[in-house]
Amino acid sequence: MYLIDKHNLPKHIAITMDGNGRWAKTKGKLRIFGHENGVKAVRDTVEGAVEIGIKYLTLYAFSTENWSRPKNEVNALMALLVNAIHKETKTLMDNNIKLDAIGDITKLPQKPQKKLLEAIEKTKNNSKMNLILALSYSGRWEILNATKKIIKNNLSESEINERTFQQYLSTKDVPDPELLIRTSGEYRISNFLLWQIAYSELYFTDTLWPDFRRTDLKEAIKEYQSRERRFGNTN
């Protein structure tokens, strides 16, 4: 059912992990229950991506807009982040996965920021896959941040082109995603990797994130492989 062409894999997959709150609601539970179960989906998806041979996987974990959620939910999410990073670092090491992060990490509370940086440092020499967490991230923030850096460096108009601009983005060392997956049946980009997904294939699934597994990832890749990518050309 999930016959994947290993010669036509997307090098980079990005995922908007949506639906934790709605999943919890269907169970009669608080939203944080959905976030807790979403960690299981992360683990299985990450391990599945490594198994398939994906080189870069970016997960939209916490947007800049998420800071406006109720304080108790944000606090619970930050505590969950600390716990998840602590528990999953061994899994990252066992699977030779390098951890990285994009976003305004300085906005994170001290403890999750410290745990995140420790995990990034510990896994920096791993080479099988690069797992990138988008935390306190938004595409507009990233583009504005890149623009400010360019102004600060006094680049002339003639020096600024797409390649130059890309070097000021958080993802300057990462290829653009060929495939963007969004769960939960929503059909929005939600301020995620706005520059990078210019030519990405978009895949939407009704599956709520806590129910997403490596089989769902394989189904998305199978769909990606069935499409013809033209990059604006007619042939």
Residues assigned a catalytic role: 18, 66
Exposure string of 39-60, with b = 16+ CB inside 10 Å and e = fewer, is bebbbbbbbbbbebebbbbbbb
Tokens at 55, concatenated: 């080189």
Tokens at 222, concatenated: 């199978």
Evaluate whether 40 touches 82 at the Cβ level (below 8 Å): no
DSSP-derived secondary structure for 74-117 = HHHHHHHHHHHHHHHHHHHHHTTEEEEEES-GGGS-HHHHHHHH
Q: How far apart are CA 134 and CA 66, in angstroms?
A: 12
Evaluate whether 213 touches 45 at the Cβ level (below 8 Å): yes
Evaluate whether 106 touches 32 at the Cβ level (below 8 Å): no
